[in-house]
Every structure is written in C-alpha cells, then in structure tokens.
Structure 1
Amino acid sequence: MYSKSLTLIIVNLALVIFTMATFIMFLVFIYKQDVSAQTLHSLQGEMKELRTFVDLAKASTSFKNLKEKSLQTLCPKAYSRNLTLLPNGDYYFISKDDELNWMDSKAFCYENEMELVNIKSENEMTMLWVVAKEINTNWWWVSASNVGRPGEQYTWSDGRELPENSSWWDKISTTTAEPDSIKPNLETCVDLRFGKLLDFRCTPEQHFICKVQSKCI
C-alpha cells in the first residue's frame, strides 16, 4: 500500500517537474524570439540610418558640384581665384600674397565678382579666422568702416551697423578696448585679428577677405 502511494507521489511529482520544465522552455523560446526580433529591428534601423547617411553624402556632393558649376558659369572671374569653401556653404577668397589698403581691397573684390566680406555671425567670423591665421596672424580687412562718415559709427558695406558695444570687438588682446579709433574727421576701417575685430587707419596694406557674391551661386 505504501509502495503504491509512494509510486503515485513520484509520478505526480515527475508530471509537475515535466510541466514546469516545459513551461520554462517555452518562456525561454519566447524570450529568444523577442530578442531576435529586437536585434533584427535594431539592425534594420542601423541599415536605414546608413542608407540615409549615404544618400545625404551623395546629395551634399551633388549640391556642391552644382554650386561650383553655377559659380564657374555666372562668375568666371571669381571662379578663377583660389577660393575657400567653408562649412557654412559659402565661398571666400582669403588673400595669401596680395596685401592692399582697405579701398584697394574693396575694389579688388568687386572687380573679381566678390565683395569685401560682410560678416553676418560670430560663427562665420570664427571660421574665417581659423583659415586666415594659418596664412598670417596679422590683420585682415573686412568691409566695415566709417568711410564717407568720418568719426561716426561703423557700418558694414551692406548697410548693417556695427555697434561700439558689439561683442565682436577685441576687448582683451589690445592695450585699449576696441574700437578705439573713432575720432572727429577721421575715416577708419575695420580688420580681423585673433578672431575679433579692430579698427584702424584705412591706408596700411594688409591681407583681406572677399566673399563670392550671392548672384554667383
């Protein structure tokens, strides 16, 4: 009697263990399937991102080639110069051998279908200085001046004002905070050095930066 009861208990226990083992194996199977699906989904996402990156790279190259062809067609004089393409997508002529006074720099840019650069942002100013300082760490003419308005506030050649309290002025590396040359009856011009702006007489011959005119591209 006891032997039959013990056998029955062992059989029932075996059935319970078998059932639990089967259930655990089922859970493991489901987990693996879920992990596989997540992995596959992740890989598909990465492949999609890679294709997008490749497509963007191709589009960027095509756009660059299109701009270059436009520049070559519309402004051949500017195209013939050794231009620099900055990350902002604009072309610049950053003089290496040429040094001119402010007026002649402005004329040179105009004659070559460019303009003495009108800096639009601090980021643009920084990008220009990164390239320019590799050529020369001295002064580089930009378009701002009070030419025609001696002693008055500076403006860019596109008409924008360059306030005296602008953070673009060099307030640290010079003996006096810039601008320091605004005086009655004195025409002064603005140049770039150390990634900041300074004002000075317009007559010294210095390096200069032209920007390709918007009509060219």
Structure 2
Amino acid sequence: MIRNVLGAVLALAGAAAAVLSPFRDWYDGRLGRHYRLGDLFTGTGVTGTQSGGLFGSLWLPFLCAAVVTVLGVLLRSRTLVALAGVVVLGFTVLWMVRVFQVTDSLAVAGDGSGLDVGVALAAGGGVLILAGAGAMPGRRRAPKYTAPKYTAPDSAAPDTWPPTREPGPSVQTSPWPEPEGDDPYVGPDRSSPPGD
C-alpha cells in the first residue's frame, strides 16, 4: 500500500513537471512551447520558426505522457507509467540532439543563454515518472487454479469393493455377526430377552 502511494505521488509529480516545462524557458530565453514538434524529426535540427500552437509544440507529447501516467497510476500498471517516463525523457533528449545540431553546444550559462529551467523540469519529470514506476509494486495476478489430475486405477490390481480410498460415506459394518433366523428379539449375545 505504501509503495503504491509513494509510486503514485512520484509519477504524478513527474507528469506535472513535464506538462509545466514547455511554459518555461528551454534555451536562450525561448519557451518550450515555441519549439515545433516537427523540427524534432528533421535532420536539420530546430529552427527559429514558432510553433503553430500548443498542439504543434513540445507540449503535446508531454501532455500525452501525463495522461498515460494518470491511467497507469489508476490501473496500477508499472508498464504504462514507465512508458510515460520513457516518452518524456526521449523527447527531451531528442530535443537536445536537434538543438546541438544547430548551436554546436549545450551549455548552462548564468545569463540565460544556454539550457534553462524548462529542460531541467522535463528531464526531472521523466526521471520522477520512472522512479514512480520503479516504486510501484504493480498489480498482482491471482494464482491459477490447477485441478488435480485423475489417475485411472491400475488394471492389474484386483477390484475391491467397497472402495476404501474413494471420497464419500464409508461403509459401516457391525462388529456382531448377523442373527440367525428372523427373531427380532435375539440380542448381540445370541440370547433371548429375559422372561422367555
């Protein structure tokens, strides 16, 4: 229970950081939501062109990852939560590669001309989501029921009746021999009742 709560808190905090990161400066004073998502998949690297809106920017994959994180937490699925963390880190690293293609450096500068808080939020969010997936125990599967195997009686063994190892009521026999004749008054000691 504690691991589920801890994992959920870490994963949701990481998802919130990832969704918030495009609204902060990423590089050289440029917000993450101003980077076009399509620039990450071209060989030329990021351009100075502004994105067409939130759904055309880096915010879209982070939003999808946050939704997958919430679903994973609700379903207690470590796989879904880990997948969301990989998506966040993957897009962050891919963005770094594309920026490096254009600038030839990925420095952290004090004057705001290098990597900035948005990148740290995205990378930290991805790490937190993965940590949450690692902390969650996940769902436990119910053990499968296996029916006992039936073994046919050995044909070479003599048949005995009544069966002594079969389940069900046992055959009860009296310790006294059967009475002779039809006299209902003959007791177990084979004597007639007193007074005869």
TM-score by length of 2: 0.20
Greater length-normalized contact order (CA 8 Å, ≥ 6 residues apart): 2
Question: Greater strand share, 1 or 2?
Answer: 1
TM-score by length of 1: 0.19
